Structure 1
Amino acid sequence: MPVLSQPDSSGLDNLSASRYGVQINLGTAAVPVWTFIYGLQTWGPKFDGVSEDDTDIASDGFASEAVAGNAFTAEFKGLVKGEDDGEDFVVDAGMWALVVASEQADSSGHVHLRYWHRKLPIAREFFATVKATLEPGKPNELQKFSGTLTGRGKPKDITKPGAAFKLHYGFGLTSYVATVDGQATSSLTAATATTGQIKTAFEALSNVDLATVTGASPDFNVELSPLPTLVSVTATPTGTATFGPA
């Protein structure tokens, strides 16, 4: 009888670690102000199930455990980022909020965060307590920070956050190509491209999971998920076109 063999995996691609976006809410739960935490080098969310022995007399001497609960933590580490004018250093607000919260002795030490993986189907929002510290270092070393977030309850699955952009074209062009983080869409006809065709063109890119397109020629509102870093547009053969933050 033939034995099942696992196929060679040499033709598969590998995935780089820590391709996350991480934001902290500097507003309220009702009116959030999501702010990126810059400088992160390591982001390690982890579920740690709590099990309990449920062995009984029918287990034939083998131990058995059942899941009785779960816990969520996230370890982080990074470099302190900000703006240095020569006299004062204005530290990144997202990172500093973690440090300030870790110094509190009451509910003001609770933080509200969300994170998502740029490639994997992972996007969550959660509340946590935080332990964060500025690590000791020498004057010729970069200042680092690190810590641990301990979840307050179950993280909530969310849709990967999108960014809102305006796509506009003026006179003199017949078509245009939009670019998202280095990937170009197919050519879109300026006069006739519909919201559905523009949506399809964006979602054909491997770095766009979801595109929401509204409006009408020559002005469109475009929301892309996950959050891109850089977008642009090229007009053909000549003419004006813009693609940027709304």
Structure 2
Amino acid sequence: MSTPVEPDVVALARRWRIEVNVGSAAVPDWKVCPGITSFQPAAEPNIEDSSDYDSDGWAGNTKTGQSWELSLTINRRITETAKTYNPVHEELRLASYAYGEASRVHVRYMDRRGLPEAYEGRALVTWAPSGGEYTALDQVEVTLTGDGPLLPIDNPVVVTP
């Protein structure tokens, strides 16, 4: 008797989970960023033409740099009785108005189901409230612009079958 083959399924865009370190580099305290409704990662290489006469007319290209960015939309979360915003949202908002080291956040994002894709890096924050009609949700467009490398990491999400 043969072993049945499990069919492949299509991964969903909502598989991503983003965490922000609200602690320090020495003692990290990773907190989930809730309310994400849209997520777009980008890691664009800088490619320069390195063609020369020795290539017999074929173009040559060399990767000379790399940049990364995360674009996300979040539904703003509040604690009604305490009159406070979600602490991760506040970490992002306050970093967007700061300078120097305070303007950077330490982030990581990963597949929430424990698949091997996961990354970590430091980023500058752009915070842009969406506004809208009287029926709209309080949404914010957040851009995390990489400051340094985006490193592949082991996925910290542990999923038990």
Give TM class, smaller chain. 0.7 to 0.9
Equivalent residues in 2 for 1:87-106, closer than 5 Å:
89-106=83-100
> Which structure: greater helix fraction?
2
> Which residue among 117, 120, 144 is the counterpart of 1:125?
120
Q: Residue in 2 aligned with 1:58?
A: 54
Deviations 1:73-103 (A, max 9, x none): 1111121112223xx6421111121111001
Distance 1:15 1:162, change over 3 A: closer
Q: Residue in 2 aligned with 1:114?
A: 108
> Which residue among 136, 147, 152 is the counterpart of 2:147?
152
Structure 1: distance between partners of 2:31 and 2:68: 22
Equivalent residues in 2 for 1:61-210, closer than 5 Å:
61-85=57-81, 89-119=83-113, 120-162=115-157, 202=160, 205=161
Q: Residue in 1 aligned with 2:4?
A: none
The offset of 1:162, in angstroms, is 4.3
The offset of 1:121, in angstroms, is 1.7
Higher RCO (CA-CA < 8 Å; seq separation 6+): 2
The offset of 1:124, in angstroms, is 1.6
Q: Which residue identity does 1:62 align to in structure 2?
A: W
User: Does the 8 A contact of 2:112 with 2:157 survive in 1?
Assistant: no
Q: Which residue identity does 1:49 align to in structure 2?
A: P
Q: Residue in 2 aligned with 1:225?
A: none
Deviations 1:163-211 (A, max 9, x none): 6xxxxxxxxxxxxxxxx8xxxxxxxxxxxxxxxxxxxxx4xx2xxxxxx
Q: Which runs of 5+ in 2 are unaligned?
A: 1-6
Structure 2: distance between partners of 1:56 and 1:67: 16
The offset of 1:64, in angstroms, is 2.2
User: In the alignment, is residue 26 of structure 1 matched against residue 18 of structure 2?
Assistant: no
Query: After the TM superposition, which segments of 4 or more aligned residues of structure 1 sit over 4 Å from their partners?
Result: none
Q: Residue in 2 aligned with 1:46?
A: 42
User: Does the 8 A contact of 1:82 with 1:91 survive in 2?
Assistant: yes
User: Does the 8 A contact of 1:76 with 1:147 survive in 2?
Assistant: yes
Q: Which residue identity does 2:104 align to in structure 1?
A: H
The offset of 1:56, in angstroms, is 0.5
User: Does the 8 A contact of 1:45 with 1:74 survive in 2?
Assistant: yes
Count of paired positions: 154
Structure 2: distance between partners of 1:117 and 1:162: 8
Tell me how large the CA RMSD over aligned residues is: 1.9
1:52 aligns to what SS in structure 2?
strand
Q: Which residue identity does 1:55 align to in structure 2?
A: S
User: Does the 8 A contact of 1:102 with 1:132 survive in 2?
Assistant: yes
Structure 2: distance between partners of 1:96 and 1:134: 13
Q: Which residue identity does 2:36 align to in structure 1?
A: L
Percent pairwise identity:
28
User: Does the 8 A contact of 1:99 with 1:133 survive in 2?
Assistant: no
The offset of 1:35, in angstroms, is 1.1
User: Does the 8 A contact of 2:17 with 2:110 survive in 1?
Assistant: yes
Structure 2: distance between partners of 1:110 and 1:91: 20
